Structure 1
C-alpha cells in the first residue's frame, strides 16, 4: 500500500485519561495523523468494537486502520497486521479485526508483530500498535514488521445468531441476537435487513416480537411477546412508539421515536429475539 497521511483509530480507552492522546502523539511524531472512529467502546467489549469497526471501514479511504480493544494485553495473545484489498488492519489478534477484514475484501496476508525488547506489558496501543500503524502508513511493507502467519489461524469470534425458521422455504420467523445498543438506545440485531423481507416483514406490516435467553440472561425472565409496526425510519411511528426497521448499516433494528428502545424492550447485547409477521 502507498504511503498515507493518516490512520483510522478505534479503542475502548475512553476520553477521561491521556491514553488516546499518547497514541496520537506517537503517530504525529512520525508525521501521521489519526481519524478517530470512537474511543467509547465499553472496556474490553471486543464484540462491540468489531461490529463498529466493520460497519465503519467501508466508508473510509483505503488506509491503515488501527484498532485496540485488548483485554488480553500482556498475555500470549499476539499483535498482528492484516492485509486486505481495501487496506491494512493493526491490532490484537482476538477477533477484533476479522469482521472488518471481511468487509475490506478478505485477508490476503497476515503478519505477527515482532516482539520489541523493553516494551511495557500494559499499553500496547501506544508502544506496539501505534508505532506499527505509523510505519505502515509511511510506506513500510508489512513483512518488515513481523513473521508471516497463516490467515486461517487468525482468531475469529463465533458469529452472532441470525437465522430464519424453518430453514426450508417458506420461512415464517427470524431469530436473531442483539449485537449492540447505540447511544440513542436503538437496538441493532445480527440479522441483515434482507432477512426481514425473507420472512415477510416489510414496512407497513406488523411484527410479533418474542424474547429468549441470551448470553447474560436466565431463561424465563417473564417478558411477554409484543406486537410492533415495521417501518422505514423513526418517523414511521408516532412519538414514543416502537418500530422495527432497517438501520443505516443495513441491519434489522428496533427504535423508539424520541425514546430508548433498549430500555423499553429490556434488551442488552447477547439477548435473542424472534420476530414474525402478524
Structure 2
C-alpha cells in the first residue's frame, strides 16, 4: 500500500481520561510523521449507530488515510477487529457495524481482513482497550504503507456485521422516519432523504407540531420548528434559536411522523 500522512480517530472515549492520548501515543511511536485528525471522542458510550453516522458523514471530507473508529461495547469478546480497504481510504475498528456506512461513503469495501497477526499488535493486548493495543498500532502500520493482507486473515466482506436499516415508512399523509442522530445543537436528523420534503403539501407538521419548510435555521421565526435538508443531504428538524430534541422529546431510534396536515 502507498503510505499516507493521515489517520483519523472517532471514538466514545470522552476527554476526561487518558484513553485518547494513549492512542495518539501509540501512533506517534510507530509513525511519528503521521498526522492525526480527531473527528470526535464524544460519541455517547456504546452508541454504535451514532458513531457510524458521524464517521460516515465525515470521512468523505477528510484526506485519504486510515480512519479508526472505536465504539466497541463488545471489546474483548468474540467480535472481530477488522481493517477494510475502500477506494477512498482504509478503515480500522470493531466488526460491529460501526465501519460499514463509512466504507460505503468511501466507495465500498474491496477487501477486508481480521486483525489476527500478533506482530501488528501491541506486545500485550488488554481485553478492554483494543483502541490502544489493536486498532492504533494497526492504523499506524497501514499509514506507513504496510499491506492490509499482512494484518491478518482475509474476511469475506459479505460476512461483516451490518447495523439494522433505519425505519422509513411512507404514509398517506406523509412519512414516519427514525431519528438517526442528534447533534450538539439539538438538531434531529431523520432517516429520510431530501426528496421527501417535496412530497408534502403546504407547510409540514412534525410530530403534530407546525413547522416551516426551510433552507436554513433563520427561515423560521425564533422558537419555531424548521424542516430542512442538512449538510449530509438528509431531512432534519431544528428550532431557530432553540433545540428541536427538547421540543420534540425524541432521541436516536425514535420514530418521528412528518405530515402535510396536522397529525398527532
Summarize deviations over 1:184-221 as a string: whole Å, max 9, x none.
11011011212222x236xxx411223xxxxxxxxxxx
Partner of 1:164: 170
Q: Which residue of 1 aligns with 2:19?
A: 19
The answer as to 2:8 corresponding to 1:8 is yes
Distance 2:203 2:237 in 1: 13
Q: Runs of 4 or more off by more than 3 Å in structure 1? A: 115-118
Partner of 1:222 in structure 2? Answer: none
Find the partner of 2:145 among 130, 136, 139: 139
SS in 1 for 2:125: coil
Tell me, yes or no, if the aligned pair for 1:174 and 1:196 is still in contact at 8 Å.
Answer: no
Contact 2:46-2:72 within 8 A present in 1 as well: yes
The structure that is helix-richer by fraction is: 2
Q: Secondary structure at the match of 1:245?
A: strand
What's the TM-score once normalised by structure 1's chain length? 0.88
Matched, 1:125 2:131: yes
Distance 1:102 1:186 in 2: 24
Aligned to 2:237: 254
Change in Cα spacing, 1:115 to 1:144, as seen in structure 2 (3 Å) is closer
Q: Aligned match of 2:205 in 204, 208, 211?
A: 208
* Displacement of 1:273: 1.3
Mapped to 2, the partners of 1:274 and 1:175 lie a distance apart of 4
Deviation at 1:229, TM superposition (A): 1.5
Whether 1:275 and 2:258 are equivalent positions in the alignment is yes
With normalisation by structure 2, the TM-score equals 0.93
Distance in 1 (CA, whole Å) between partners of 2:84 and 2:168 is: 27
**Partner residue of 2:175?**
174
8 Å Cα contact 1:27-1:33 kept in structure 2: no
Following the alignment from structure 1 to structure 2, what is the Cα–Cα distance between the partners of residues 118 and 237?
A: 56
Instruction: Name the residue aligned to 1:220.
Output: none
User: Following TM superposition, by how much is the alpha carbon of 1:115 offset from its aligned partner in structure 2, in angstroms?
Assistant: 5.5
Q: CA RMSD in A?
A: 1.3
Q: Which runs of 5+ in 1 are unaligned?
A: 167-171, 211-224
How far is the alpha carbon of 1:276 from its aligned partner? Answer: 1.9
Q: Distance in 2 between matches of 1:195 and 1:100?
A: 24
Question: Structure 2: where are the runs of 5+ without partners?
Answer: none
Alignment length (residue pairs): 255
Q: 2:51 aligns with which of 49, 63, 66?
A: 49
The structural deviation recorded for 1:163 is 3.4
Aligned to 1:239: 222
Aligned-partner Cα distance in 1 for 2:35–2:26: 9
1:153 aligns with 2:159: yes
How far apart are residue 136 of structure 1 and its match? 0.3
Q: Report the Cα distance in structure 2 between the residues aligned to 1:112 and 1:67, rounded to whole angstroms.
A: 15
**Counterpart for residue 214 of structure 1:** none
Match in the other structure for 1:185: 186
Matched, 1:38 2:40: yes
Question: Whole-Å Cα distance in 1 between the matches of residues 59 and 259 of structure 2?
Answer: 32
1:204-259 Cα offsets, whole Å, 9 max, x none, are x411223xxxxxxxxxxxxxx22211111101011111111111111101111111
